[in-house]
Structure 1
């Protein structure tokens, strides 16, 4: 298949518009029209991973972390980034990254951590704003059902765990077509009154083209009247971190041992134990110290993440237990998630999980 088929599908699940401003997710190296037969999935794209892709005959590497965050001005091979990019180009291997856009999905990195730890009733810890729009359109009574269905099928009408959400008001529309018009009802040059439905629904901003195309395809009028409004509401399905609950509360020491085992980490750096039971748990794969206040506000007993600095541990202020399990350790199962996603969609496409441990941090136990 074409590389664009794979990247297009991944971006339908984790749109690039959901990545953070500093990020560089998407196709970093490669021709979208290139034919691909095998993909290698990894957390990082290192030289060893590129060598593995060459040895296994893979045409694309799908990694979580982008190998390039900032623009490259030279390709002298002086840095590992330059060497990785040069080698991948030389061997015609595409590199695709799906980073913070996957982090911000409620089915992404943090959802896999929650699943691994057996958390229930999970939700986004810090939902994002300004990612939604509202569509208002006016449809003849007899066509309102068809237009509604088309909009819902295009991805509109989702609010939290509810779908097919809209508001409908009956009224009367007026219009007068010009001499060159061919109105669906009424006559050119004469004012017409038509019983209509004012149909309102919300949709993710990245689906605007798809939603409008559905509207235009099903709406019977020659000129479709519609309004678009930006919405500042939080988008509950998109954002940073997640918070969930254990089925049964356990003591802090036992929970940290469970985390150590489930997350396959050799060491956990943590704040003082408070002598309280653990029921609610917040998680953030990768560097999550920026979510400490949100974890406290959510009432979490423990916040599992990585890359906490020395002074940031003090900020917990005995309000919860911070458990820093390591960056690689917190995101290592993302590789498995990506393999599952690709295999489920492309049953006849070969997907390989890297055998390279890309964790740059070693532990002396």
Structure 2
């Protein structure tokens, strides 16, 4: 299989445009046109992971965290990052990372956590703004369905659990073609009136190029009349964290035991137990302290995340229980998520999860 087939599939699930500005998701090392026969999945890319890939004859390593976050000026093996990159290149092993873009989509990292906990109908905790746009295009009635179907096929018209969403208004369009024009309808030099539909559809901005191509390819006019609007609406399926309800409430001690078992953690750092049962659960895989106030505002009884600093625990103010389960621990099942979706799409492709634990933090009991 060509590497680009796999990366295109992963980026259809978690588009690179949805990663945070500081991130470096995507193909880090490798030629998109190269053949890949076997992949190793890991949370992190370390020297031991590259050694495992070499031992198992894997020519691709897929990780959640990118090995390279910023520009590198030297490759003299002075750091583990340089050693990993150098060894991967030397052994022709491609490196691909799917990080905050997978955090920010439904079906991603936080969905996997919610599945582990059995949370019902989770939704995005902090939906993102500045992603949605609206296209309005004027089309003669004779071609309105053709153009509409092309827009849907290109990815327009999806709203939450609904697809092919649009609005059409009826009106009359006018135009007068000059001598240089080649009109589909009408006569040069005479004003023409045509019954038209004004079709409106929403779409995520990162799909704009494909959607406009679909519009131009199917629209009958030489000159297409259309408007594009940037929206303040949040994208309900894209954003940070998730929130939802457990099937039944648990007291705090039972919940902590439940959380420890389901997330397979050894230690939980938590704040004072609330004087109420726990049922509404907010989560954010990895470092999620920036979402604490959102979790409180959404009425969560507990916020499960990682990497809280000492003084940040005070911010709970007895309004919510913070349960810090550790960075690696909160994201460890991302490996299983990637294995599942890739195997489902490419059942004949050889892929396996690492046997190594890349967690740099150890616990002494």
- Shorter-chain TM band: over 0.9
Whether 1:295 and 2:295 are equivalent positions in the alignment is: yes
Question: Structure 2: 5+ residue runs without aligned partners?
Answer: none
Aligned to 1:340: 340
TM-score, normalised with respect to structure 2 = 0.98
Deviation sequence 1:4-45 (CA, Å, 0-9, x none): 111111111111111111111111111111111111110000
Q: Matches of 1:80 and 1:284 in 2, distance apart?
A: 28
How is 1:256-267 mapped onto 2 (pairs within 5 angstroms)? 256-267=256-267
How far is the alpha carbon of 1:182 from its aligned partner? Answer: 2.7
Q: What secondary structure does 1:137 align onto?
A: strand
Aligned to 2:37: 37
Q: Matches of 2:153 and 2:42 in 1, distance apart?
A: 33
How is 1:166-181 mapped onto 2 (pairs within 5 angstroms)? 166-181=166-181
Q: What secondary structure does 1:171 align onto?
A: strand
How far is the alpha carbon of 1:184 from its aligned partner? Answer: 1.7
Whether 1:84 and 2:59 are equivalent positions in the alignment is: no
Aligned to 1:60: 60
How is 1:125-274 mapped onto 2 (pairs within 5 angstroms)? 125-274=125-274
Deviation sequence 1:54-73 (CA, Å, 0-9, x none): 11111110000001111111
Q: What secondary structure does 1:243 align onto?
A: strand
Deviation sequence 1:304-340 (CA, Å, 0-9, x none): 0000000000000000100000000000000010111
Q: Matches of 1:184 and 1:244 in 2, distance apart?
A: 53
Q: Matches of 2:329 and 2:226 in 1, distance apart?
A: 49
Deviation sequence 1:60-108 (CA, Å, 0-9, x none): 1000000111111111111110100000001010101000000000110
Aligned to 1:316: 316
Q: Matches of 1:190 and 1:33 in 2, distance apart?
A: 53
Whether 1:8 and 2:8 are equivalent positions in the alignment is: yes
TM-score, normalised with respect to structure 1 = 0.98
Q: Matches of 1:112 and 1:265 in 2, distance apart?
A: 15
Q: Deviating runs (4+, > 3 A) in structure 1?
A: none
How far is the alpha carbon of 1:167 from its aligned partner? Answer: 1.5
Q: Matches of 1:176 and 1:41 in 2, distance apart?
A: 60
How far is the alpha carbon of 1:180 from its aligned partner? Answer: 3.5
Alignment RMSD (CA, Å) = 1.0
Whether 1:283 and 2:293 are equivalent positions in the alignment is: no
Aligned to 2:17: 17
Question: Structure 1: 5+ residue runs without aligned partners?
Answer: none
Q: Matches of 1:112 and 1:354 in 2, distance apart?
A: 18
Q: What secondary structure does 1:220 align onto?
A: coil
> What is the number of equivalent residue pairs in this alignment?
365
Q: What secondary structure does 1:76 align onto?
A: coil
How far is the alpha carbon of 1:161 from its aligned partner? Answer: 2.2
Q: Matches of 1:187 and 1:207 in 2, distance apart?
A: 36
